[in-house]
Amino acid sequence: MTYPVRLRLLPIARCLFDEPIVVKIDGLRSKQVVTIRARTTDERGMLFSSSAAYRADAGGEIDLSRDPSIGGSYTGVEPMGLLWSMKPQILHKDFRKTRALDPVMVNFSLHEEEGRMLAEATNERFLMRDGVSRVPVQEGNINGVLFTPPGEGPFPAVLDLYTSMSEKRACLLANKGFVTLAVPVLSGRPQQIHLDHFADAVHFLQQLPKVSSKGVGIVSRSKAGDIALSLATFVRGVKAVVWINGCSANAGLPLYYKNKQLLPALMFDRKKLFSTNSGAVISKYAMHDPLNTESRDSLVPIERACGSFLFVASEDDLAWDSKAYMENMVERLTNNGKENFESVCYPGAGHCLEPPYEPFCSSALNIFTGMPALWGGEPRAHAAAEVHLWRKIQEFLRTHLSCEAAQTKPKMLNQKDDQDDI
């Protein structure tokens, strides 16, 4: 008896964006070679796709959690390889997923070597768990989106900073039990940045009735990283900061607070942008050295911070030398007798570390240079780093934003209790 070919997505075809699935196929001929394709579009309508060849076992079955790809977008046993290996139809495009309400739809299809389709299934990857609320916040200087877990709480609070607006990570954190406010660092083309706007966001979170304590966590990447460092240093109530591939100095634009300049900008030299054959540039060595005498005033004095830090650096970051920035911060804290930090370094990972299971971004527009940039990283190593980091972020935030942690006041020397009075 001949059975129909089936392509199944397990445990179910509908899952959270950051959850893995298992792709299984049965009904094939013994040792039959087939190709599995994955396709999706981002919120701009940009097509991303991947494919991998597999050989069925003696029983005509393929299990991507067990069986190796023998060719295509990747090789080897990679259960989620069809997702992270997807590439854009047009060069230098990132996977744009900034809105939380719309799920990502991924079509998986199975094809014979001649190309005829044998089966297909659709994976609906949604960002908002049932019961999570999404509320736009436009209050004073705050322009963001608040995500709140279901239930009465109390919950730990997190300020999620992206360089440009994105709801993705904030919503996924709310699924895990964090009240999370997503706020962009840059809007339009500012000539300077005002820390007051982000301090207001911290204070807003502190006053929410469902928030468990007065301590707020911050998650940040790239340019948002130095804003997070500055909040931890100058604004009271920041208890935990996740800094991912950022800068140790105030990068690009002068930083103001309470109507005066707080930190000058660490600038970059466009002459040190390295052009590649792809049309994208490498900007890793274009930033001025923050340790040089003329740039040291731009360093964020994190030695003054009361909270805890999780520093994360990718060794193959081509946007800037995030590993060197991280090593400098670790050295400064250590020399000042501080133990309020953890550091993680990922070999083979690039600049754009995101929540797991989205297409690897090798290059895209850099809003500071106005040019396509190579972000660095090897896709397989980068994807593995994202899985590990996503768990690490949640563990770090839970540890330092618990009620017990909030009740323990850090000891600081020669510093007022109220950091707002600088």
Contact 34/7 with Cβ under 8 angstroms?
no
317 classed as catalytic? yes
Residue 268 sits in which domain range? 133-406
Rounded CA gap, 160 and 397, in Å? Answer: 12
pTM for this model (two decimals): 0.92
| Number of domains present in the structure of the chain | 2
Residue 294, CA atoms < 13 Å, CB-side half-sphere? 3
Q: What is the DSSP string of 96-140?
A: ----SSSPEEEEEEEEETT--EEEEEEEEEESSPTT-EEEEEEET
Same domain, 60 and 98: yes
Same domain, 302 and 389: yes
Q: Residue 418 domain-assigned?
A: no
Same domain, 228 and 278: yes
Contact 257/274 with Cβ under 8 angstroms?
no
For residue 416, the model assigns a pLDDT of: 36
Question: Residue 56 maps to which CATH number?
Answer: 2.60.40.2240
Question: Pick the catalytic residue: 220, 230, 351, 400?
Answer: 351
Same domain, 99 and 195: no
DSSP structural state of residue 365: E
Nearest of 46, 13, 7 to residue 125 by alpha carbon: 13
List average pLDDT for each run of 10 residues in the chain, which is 422 residues long: 85 97 97 98 97 98 98 98 97 94 97 93 97 95 96 94 94 97 90 96 95 89 97 96 98 95 94 92 94 95 96 97 98 96 98 97 90 96 98 97 49 37 44
Same domain, 380 and 299: yes
For residue 264, the model assigns a pLDDT of: 97
Same domain, 111 and 146: no
Question: Pick the catalytic residue: 166, 222, 230, 248?
Answer: 222
Same domain, 15 and 149: no
Contact 120/7 with Cβ under 8 angstroms?
yes
Q: Residue 206 domain-assigned?
A: yes
For residue 422, the model assigns a pLDDT of: 47
Question: Pick the catalytic residue: 94, 226, 317, 321?
Answer: 317
Nearest of 252, 232, 250 to residue 242 by alpha carbon: 232
DSSP structural state of residue 305: -
